[in-house]
Amino acid sequence: MNQNSANQTAMPLAPALSQWLDELYTQARQQRLSDFKQWCFSSMQGLLRFDSALWATRSDLQKLKPDHWVDDTCLFKQPDEFMDNYAKVVMSANTPDPLNQHLGGHPGQFFSIWDCCPKTQWYQSDYYLKHCRIFGVENAISALTLPRENSIVRHVFSFYRANVADEFTADETLLANFMLPNLVEAIRINVLSTFSKTQHKGESFRAVLDRYGEILEAETGFCLLMKQKALFDKTQAHETRVDIPGLDQIISSDARTLNGLKTDIVFSDGLFYVEISENSRLGELSMREYQILELISSGLSSKDIAQMLSENDPTQPIKTNTVNTHRANIYRKIGVKHKTAATAYFLTHAVEE
């Protein structure tokens, strides 16, 4: 049994905690991402005391460009300057942040500052003198989540207290460890719920990416098309980062074509909501091929199609073998192998045409 499983087993489900879990998953399906994170913080204060908090969702926690940290981080009762200042301290400090360094080697559970650094050393560090003391952070517990399958995007959680004597207890840390996997699963449901709230247009597929193009969540067809169209970043050993030029320059929305894929991108709450669809190949068909595909889609056999076309234009009779030749060319052009797929493709894309 891993540490998280042990924590969940040890934590009794008191009525208030059970009610919080029910409400957590209900709210996950109803709210937009940033509002949902704020709701999580507010609701947790009834169970775990903290004065302020942080929730970051990123794939690369080492890139500390200040404006990106502000966009990718949800702060609770701390100003935006909190992340600006932290990034500046990190870039100027001679040593790494001991808490974050510890989390990187021990993901999946909460630790306090004092688990990672002696108090005398901490109070002399730039991280305390130039950041924590300024923003009223005297005690903290933090966690870095484990990466999920097919995604290296991770979450950082921190809960802060302003009273130097008010340290987080072992029971409070245990409670936070119980909440951690539930928060991660709830945010996954929250992101996936955006797929069901938007119109699914034919053969289109959707995904949510972080600042660096890393997939947080995606429909299966999205990943298959990315691989088919060679749109995964070739510099990465894993196929989770999509190569979209200028992605981090998009500030609201963008529409473009990538390797034949119509791509619509919307930026919101530090994440990119991407929808892709293949451009219709019906335009590659001749008039006769288009006519035959339309008849195939109505359920007619090659023999019936030949008879109907010959009756409609006796001056240009057509044989069944000729219809079969057209059929083979149609299938090749639109990339299908049988009648059912051809019918589905035509019915999906004919409206667009």
Domain range enclosing 220? 198-278
Residues 19 and 47 in one domain: yes
- Domain end point (choices 228, 262, 278): 278
Of residues 62, 60, 70, 57, the one with CA closest to residue 217: 57
Q: Are residues 235 and 156 both part of a single domain?
A: no
Tokens of 13: 């489900």
24 and 172: one domain? yes
Does residue 166 share a domain with residue 142? yes
Last residue within a domain, chosen from 278, 309, 339: 278
Q: Per-residue DSSP letters for 37-50?
A: HHHHHHHHTTTS--
Q: What are 35-45's pLDDT values in tens digits?
A: 999 999 999 99
Of 55-59, 83-87, 127-131, 238-242, which has the strongest mean pLDDT?
Answer: 127-131
Question: What are the DSSP calls for 248-279, one per residue?
Answer: GG-SSEEEEEETTEEEEEEEETTEEEEEEEEP
Task: Single out the residue in 236, 252, 278 at which a domain terminates.
Answer: 278
* Residue 306: predicted pLDDT: 93
What is the CATH classification number for the domain harbouring 313? 1.10.10.10
Query: pLDDT confidence of 203, banded at 50, 70, 90?
Result: low
Tens digit of each residue's pLDDT (9 = 90 or more) over 128-154: 999 999 999 999 999 999 887 778 888
Same domain (yes/no): 34, 140: yes
47-70 residue pLDDT tens: 999 999 999 887 766 554 545 566
Answer yes or no: do 53 and 79 share one domain.
Answer: yes
CATH number at residue 259: 3.30.450.20
- How many domains does the chain fold into? 3
Give residue 269's pLDDT: 80
Are residues 234 and 183 both part of a single domain? no
Residues 215 and 139 in one domain: no
> Strands across the sheet with 215-218, in order?
215-218, 204-209, 271-278, 261-268, 253-258
Q: Which of 181-185, 220-224, 256-260, 272-276 has the lowest mean pLDDT?
A: 220-224
Please check whether residues 242 and 217 belong to one and the same domain: yes
DSSP code, position 283: G
Closest CA to 47 of 183, 162, 155, 191: 183
Q: How does pLDDT run across 316-348, given as a tens digit for each residue? A: 899 999 999 999 999 988 878 888 878 877 876
What's the token pair of residue 278? Answer: 């293949």
- State whether 129 and 68 are in the same domain: yes
**Are 43 and 153 members of one domain?**
yes
Which tokens belong to 282? 């019906």
Cα three-residue angle 74-75-80, rounded to 5 degrees = 105
Query: How far apart are alpha carbons 341 and 215 in whole angstroms?
Result: 29
Q: Is there a single domain that holds both residue 204 and residue 77?
A: no
CATH number for the domain spanning 174: value is 3.30.450.80
